[in-house]
Amino acid sequence: MKPLLFAANWKMHQAPAAAREFLGIFLNAHAPVAERQVWFFPPAVSLVAVVDGTRGRRDLLVGVQNVYWEPRGAFTGEISAGMARDAGARAVLVGHSERRHVFGETDEQTAKKVKAALDGELTPILCVGEQLAEREARKTVAVVERQLAPFAGWPAEQLARLVIAYEPVWAIGKGRNATPQDAAEVHAAIRSWFESRGVAPHELRVLYGGSVNRGNVAALVAEPEINGVLVGGASLDPAGWAAIVRTGV
């Protein structure tokens, strides 16, 4: 299996000075751990500060929270995958629930962003997940498969380059999370979807996100189906984040 992955989505937090201060504390608290990776997704204005602050640490990787699907042009406020790569990013979040439900991004637009990320040599973390009403109607797998549908015709070698993050919308920032068993069931369904399109289960990395914290992370990553976590609020405290990424060490 691939290394266990702990990804920090800082959302609209941690300006450059705060990011540098964070890394000063975090790097002192977290030495490299074999078969474990930590990825940071700061706001775009803090990207260079985090890239510079993590330089020389092969276990740490920095990404951006969003890219546009065109490589250049008159798109005020957007950045391209190539620009992000040139600034030091190596990954990008795509399809996060806030992009879908706050900014109105469609499944087709997320697919265009994933394609742009791959063309720009960024690893996309594609976020999928259901809202509470959909879960209560037992439509979780159907919703996730709908969000994956734009990728159905893609070559297996491209699909294998994706990282998937299952983030139930009802759990994000709500202080509640799917049980490890519930998450594992959805992860297994995601692997089955990719396997039917030529991607071996061990090739695909599937993360869980949604109110992950120090109290529940150990049980989550103990599930064989869960290859890591995508964390929002609990990643903003450097000491707490170091404790999370060192779970089980």
User: Which residues of the chain, if any, have pLDDT below 50?
Assistant: none
Instruction: Provide the number of structural domains found in the chain.
Output: 1
User: Which residue of the set 96, 105, 134, 187 is catalytic?
Assistant: 96
Closest CA to 91 of 170, 152, 156, 7: 7
Per the DSSP assignment, residues forming a β-bridge with 211 are none
Q: Are strands 4-9 and 60-64 parallel, antiparallel or unpaired?
A: unpaired
Closest CA to 160 of 116, 126, 187: 126
Dump pLDDT digits (tens) for 128-171: 999 999 999 999 999 999 999 999 999 999 999 999 999 998 88
Closest CA to 48 of 94, 12, 13, 89: 89
- Give yes or no: 202 in active site: no
CA-based torsion, 27, 30, 36, 42: positive or negative? negative
Give the model's pLDDT for residue 2. 81
**Whole-number Å distance between alpha carbons of 81 and 66:** 9
Give the model's pLDDT for residue 57. 96
Range of the domain at 133: 4-245
Tokens of 10: 């800082």
Q: Are strands 60-64 and 163-166 parallel, antiparallel or unpaired?
A: unpaired
Give the model's pLDDT for residue 171. 83
Number of H helices, E strands in the chain: 11, 8
SS (HEC) of 210-240: CCCCCCCHHHHHCCCCCCEEEECHHHCCHHH
Contact between 237 and 14 under an 8 Å Cβ cutoff? The reply is: no
Tokens of 249: 């060490």
The type of residue at 107 is D
User: Which residue of the set 134, 167, 187, 225 is catalytic?
Assistant: 167
**Whole-number Å distance between alpha carbons of 63 and 60:** 10
- Give yes or no: 78 in active site: no
Give the model's pLDDT for residue 175. 67
